[in-house]
Amino acid sequence: MTQSLTITRPDDWHLHLRDGDMLRAVLPETARHFGRAIIMPNLVPPVVTGEQAGAYRDRILSALPGDMTFEPLMTLYLTEDTDPEDVAAAHASGLVKAVKLYPAGATTNSASGVRDFDKVRPVLEKMAEIGLPLCTHGEVTDPDIDIFDREAVFIDRVLDPIRQATPGLRVVMEHITTRNAADYVRSQDKDLGATITTHHLIINRNHILVGGIKPHYYCLPVAKREEHRIALRAAATSGDHRFFLGTDSAPHTDANKLQACGCAGCFTATNTMALLAHVFEEDGALDQLEGFASRNGPAFYRLPENPGQITLVKQDAPVAFPEQIDTPDGPVTVFDPGFPVHWTVA
Ligand code: DOR
Ligand code: ZN
């Protein structure tokens, strides 16, 4: 029996596209299904100024195949030297849709991130004034904090104090991985939203570590216990408008993943929508997929929904997704959910 589901064309509210050859290789994987994406600024060097964001946007658009449409929504990487007036100008011109906070050292290319949160206070106040959202990588980097507790501690020590001190600041807690984060979002007002990745709806920490280490399941924030995965599924499929899709699809070559100190990131751009259809169907919530992937994000970012639609089709035979994307830098492995998937985008 063929089943199908047509939804408004989705957006990805957290995406890594990189630059150069890698950008050209991975961009079509996202643009095939998604209308827009919030583009992460953690290049080397990071995208810090409005001018750099404009140049990066131009490089993304030149890498886009001529037969595809896609709008990159640019972000600025928050540093202790970020100029509030530059942020305001980049927002006023329509170029920049969010500012990204990486605590220094939290993840890939985050060395220029924030150490002293008092130093970014003027920027945060300007953002609250102009309504520009702050996207947070919500992990503390204190070496005394266990890596599995980094997100929960960030909420108490960093995020809640910032929000209390900056009324009106609109915040997206990105790639949440814990029940604590989902509960915090629910307990707050309309100025707080959260993105959830596809992979964090599918894997828990056992998938990374049991039966041999699985580098392709290693990302940051790292997947937590099963009870947290269940809480994320409940949040994503609930219909609560504050939760929306941000894949955090993060390409690294196999050479960089499969080594003694492997890079963090799951590459899910290729099969995300199919996997989400599987997950939402499994939870009896296919009717909530459109909200999660296509409607709640634009509502939070105060943007119109995409004009087009995509159709997901469920077929009898399992779908054979590519195992890898070839890039001039080497292959990038596509996230393997570990179970057969029957959904595909028509
Ligand atoms: O797993 C991750 N990979 N988490 C991040 O926060 C960064 C990302 C990357 O850039 O590779
Ligand atoms: Zn990310």
pLDDT band at 105 (very low <50, low <70, confident <90, very high): confident
Residue pLDDT, tens place only, 40-60: 999 999 999 999 999 999 999
Beta bridge partner(s), residue 205: none
The pLDDT of residue 228 is: 98
SS3 208: helix
Closest-CA residue to 60 (of 13, 16, 113): 16
Query: Strand order in 192-196's β-sheet?
Result: 12-15, 36-39, 71-77, 96-101, 134-136, 171-173, 192-196, 243-245
**Ligand 1 centre distance from Cα of residue 217 (Å):** 12
The pLDDT of residue 111 is: 79
Q: Is 42 in the pocket of ligand 1 (CB under 6 A)?
A: yes
- Determine the Cα–Cα distance for residues 247 and 14; give it in Å rounded to an integer: 6
The pLDDT of residue 112 is: 84
The topology (CATH level 3) of 4-345 is TIM Barrel (3.20.20)
Is residue 248 flagged as an active site residue? yes
240 Cβ neighbours under 8 A, 6+ residues apart: 186
Q: Is 76 in the pocket of ligand 1 (CB under 6 A)?
A: no
The pLDDT of residue 208 is: 98
Has residue 114 got a pLDDT over 90?
A: yes
The pLDDT of residue 237 is: 98
End-to-end CA distance of the chain: 16
Q: Is 265 in the pocket of ligand 1 (CB under 6 A)?
A: yes
Query: Dihedral (C-alpha) 297, 345, 319, 321: value to the nearest 10 degrees?
Result: -70
Please state at what angle helix 226-237 crosses helix 179-187, rounded to 10 degrees. 40
pLDDT band at 314 (very low <50, low <70, confident <90, very high): very high
Residues bordering ligand 2, an ion, CB closer than 5 Å: 248
Residue pLDDT, tens place only, 228-287: 999 999 999 999 999 999 999 999 999 999 999 999 999 999 999 999 999 999 999 999
Is the pTM higher than 0.85? yes
Query: Dihedral (C-alpha) 276, 138, 143, 148: value to the nearest 10 degrees?
Result: -30
